[in-house]
């Protein structure tokens, strides 16, 4: 693509407003900026679109949203039958421009004769997944960039099962986008006319009610919270986002009497003024919550990201400090609690199953197996976890009780097919209350699991590679590791090399090659002689390579030494 020619096309288009043209005119003498905006379109994948917000082909703006939506509409219409009548649910988060982008998407769908159920205000991502399933929609759109910084927005796409798009549908949309002119291709219609003709239907409170009935049904032990309700306290923050309404409602319904919400962060604001990053994976974002917890003598802190699909917790330790519990650790202790609660109440299914992704701690398998449950791996992403859940349950091979990934995403129940911070917040709080009644914290429960199953440890390293050169650097690093895999890492022999692209497994000692079940993803795994696994993959939403170190030690000291040792090797990858 000739980026300068594309720039001139946009500048000359009558579809642009005066403000948009002025923005483009301002970069006319900055060839690097022009190239970065127009060298190619945002890549449409199974996660949809995500990028920074500004005018240009490679960014999030109304024109890109319309373009993607027209392509999506044509894929839906190609399904034939009653696909248009079944329609699509459209949701949005707290980010700048999210309501406008959602309305534009709705108007394009309506112009194509596809019925739209549009939420009246921002809602959590899991409620969009629920709405697709509840109303029998053919698909869904959620305008969100999840936990990314304020400059970003995104466009998540869902299919009729309530999970994000499978690869073949994503490929079909990308192909349509390549065929359609970005300005002349999309159909649209006036919002008020679409409402008047019944093509756009506004949904809200009734959907909330139905969603919350399902959320509350996930309580594993209805007596856990009431047993300590007079003394147990919770601090909660939605990081200015979509959890502000339904998470507190769920906790209060469950019996929490002392819920203290961070007032500054209960304010809906796409600029996220109180945090550098609205990501519960970053402990700095919890500063106001920690301050509030100290003032109010609180042990348990809960935070959900802007679209309320991820949740993080902090726990007060014996020294009075607030400790981060990682996504891997949270998932392990929650899995143990859920299986234990089901066993105590006689509700454990005959063939219980836990699901995790390939980059999530191996400790989950040890915990699951201690209850007689199976544990399966999938690729990263809840569409794969949802797909595996449906397959196992349809075949009668097992009943999935819990699915999770290391990046603070958890899925419970049968009513959503995506990570769900509303339900997870409820059950995590229930778990904390259960342990509080026994004079324990979640940290105490986690340490007991380490003593029982071994000292597992995990660390995710992000090798950030921004810009055009960064994309090349990412591709070169993956190609280098694939073509010449290391024989040892940090002085430890590599026993097996797994390439999830072609599903191959190579024994490094003999060169013998075999195949594994999973294939079709740009991920590499090195399994070492000491039991450590190192996994390398490009991020699907940000310009970085993610390197996961999964290890285990005889005690905490050995585990931590392993993590430090391998961190040095990871740092050298970028040099």
Tokens of 192: 């008020």
Decide if 145 contacts 310 (C-beta within 8 A).
no
Q: Are strands 524-528 and 492-499 parallel, antiparallel or unpaired?
A: antiparallel
Tokens of 68: 């993607």
Strand order in the sheet with 258-261: 258-261, 233-237, 300-304, 311-316, 322-325
What is the rounded distance in angstroms from the CA atom of residue 498 to the CA atom of residue 369? Answer: 24
User: Where are any strands of DSSP class E within 216-295?
Assistant: 233-237, 258-261
Give the three-class secondary structure for 265. Answer: helix
Residue closest to 328 by CA, chosen among 367, 298, 302, 293: 367
Residue 91: DSSP 8-state: E
Give the three-class secondary structure for 20. Answer: helix
Tokens of 143: 């305008």
Enumerate the active-site residues.
146
Decide if 334 contacts 464 (C-beta within 8 A).
no
What is the rounded distance in angstroms from the CA atom of residue 270 to the CA atom of residue 329? Answer: 30
Q: What burial letters (b/e) apply to 237-246, b meaning 16+ CB within 10 Å?
A: bbbbbbbbbb
Decide if 137 contacts 89 (C-beta within 8 A).
yes
What H or E segment, with its residue span, contains residue 435? helix 421-436
What is the rounded distance in angstroms from the CA atom of residue 450 to the CA atom of residue 66? Answer: 50
Written as one string, the DSSP assignment of 440-484 is --HHHHHHHHHHHH-EEEEEEEEEE--HHHHHHHHHHHHHHHHHS
Number of neighbouring beta carbons within 10 Å of residue 478: 18
What H or E segment, with its residue span, contains residue 190? none
Largest CA distance in the chain: 70
Q: Are strands 300-304 and 258-261 parallel, antiparallel or unpaired?
A: unpaired
Tokens of 183: 């300005």
Q: What burial letters (b/e) apply to 136-169, b meaning 16+ CB within 10 Å?
A: ebbbbbbbbbbbbebebbbbbbbbbbbbbbeeeb
Q: Are strands 399-405 and 352-357 parallel, antiparallel or unpaired?
A: parallel
Decide if 306 contacts 275 (C-beta within 8 A).
no
Residue 321: DSSP 8-state: P
Tokens of 401: 């009780």
Give the three-class secondary structure for 386. Answer: helix
Tokens of 96: 């700048």
Question: What's the full length of the chain, in residues?
Answer: 575
Residue closest to 435 by CA, chosen among 293, 216, 219, 227: 227
């Amino acid at each position: 693509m000739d980026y300068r020619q594309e720039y001139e096309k946009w500048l000359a288009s009558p579809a642009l407003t005066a403000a948009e043209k002025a923005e483009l005119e301002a970069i006319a003498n900055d060839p690097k900026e022009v190239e970065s905006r127009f060298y190619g379109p945002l890549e449409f994948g199974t996660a949809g679109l995500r990028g920074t917000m500004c005018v240009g082909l490679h960014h999030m703006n109304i024109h890109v949203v319309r373009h993607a939506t027209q392509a999506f509409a044509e894929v839906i219409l190609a399904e034939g039958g009653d696909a248009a009548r079944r329609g699509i649910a459209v949701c949005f988060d707290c980010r700048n421009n999210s309501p406008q982008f959602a309305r534009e998407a709705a108007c394009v769908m309506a112009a194509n004769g596809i019925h739209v159920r549009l939420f009246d205000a921002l809602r959590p991502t899991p409620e969009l997944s629920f709405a697709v399933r509840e109303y029998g929609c053919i698909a869904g759109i959620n305008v969100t960039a999840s936990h990314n910084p304020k400059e970003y927005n995104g466009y998540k796409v869902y299919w009729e099962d309530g999970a994000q798009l499978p690869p073949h549908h994503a490929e079909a949309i990308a192909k349509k986008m390549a065929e359609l002119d970005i300005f002349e291709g999309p159909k649209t219609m006036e919002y008020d006319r679409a409402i008047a003709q019944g093509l756009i239907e506004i949904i809200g409170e009734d959907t909330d009610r139905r969603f919350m009935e399902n959320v509350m049904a996930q309580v594993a032990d209805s007596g856990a919270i009431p047993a300590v309700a007079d003394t147990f306290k919770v601090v909660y923050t939605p990081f200015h986002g979509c959890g502000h309404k339904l998470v507190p409602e769920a906790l209060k319904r469950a019996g929490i009497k002392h819920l203290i919400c961070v007032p500054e962060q209960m304010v809906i604001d796409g600029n996220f003024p109180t945090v550098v990053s609205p990501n519960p994976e970053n402990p700095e974002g919890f500063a106001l919550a920690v301050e509030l917890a100290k003032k109010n003598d609180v042990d348990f802190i809960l935070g959900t990201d802007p679209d309320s699909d991820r949740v993080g917790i902090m726990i007060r330790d014996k020294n009075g400090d607030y400790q981060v519990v990682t996504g891997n650790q949270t998932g392990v202790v929650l899995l143990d609690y859920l299986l234990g609660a089901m066993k105590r109440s006689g509700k454990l299914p005959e063939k219980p199953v836990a699901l995790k992704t390939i980059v999530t701690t191996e400790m989950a398998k040890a915990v699951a197996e201690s209850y007689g449950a199976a544990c399966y791996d999938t690729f990263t992403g809840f569409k794969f976890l949802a797909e595996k859940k449906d397959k196992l349950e349809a075949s009668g091979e097992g009943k999935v009780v819990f699915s999770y990934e290391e990046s603070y995403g958890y899925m419970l129940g049968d009513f959503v097919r995506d990570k769900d911070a509303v339900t997870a917040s409820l059950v995590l709080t229930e778990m904390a209350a259960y342990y509080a009644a026994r004079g324990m914290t979640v940290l105490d429960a986690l340490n007991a699991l380490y003593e029982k199953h071994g000292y597992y440890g995990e660390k995710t390293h992000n090798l950030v590679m921004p810009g055009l050169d960064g994309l090349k650097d990412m591709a070169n690093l993956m190609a280098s590791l694939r073509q010449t895999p290391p024989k040892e890492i940090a002085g430890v022999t590599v026993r097996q090399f797994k390439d999830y692209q072609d599903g191959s497994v190579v024994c490094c000692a003999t060169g013998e090659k075999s195949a594994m079940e999973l294939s079709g993803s740009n991920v590499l795994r090195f399994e070492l002689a000491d039991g450590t696994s190192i996994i390398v993959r490009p991020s699907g939403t940000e310009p970085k390579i993610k390197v996961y170190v999964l290890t285990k030690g005889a005690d905490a000291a050995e585990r931590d030494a392993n993590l430090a040792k391998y961190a040095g090797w990871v740092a050298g990858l970028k040099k």
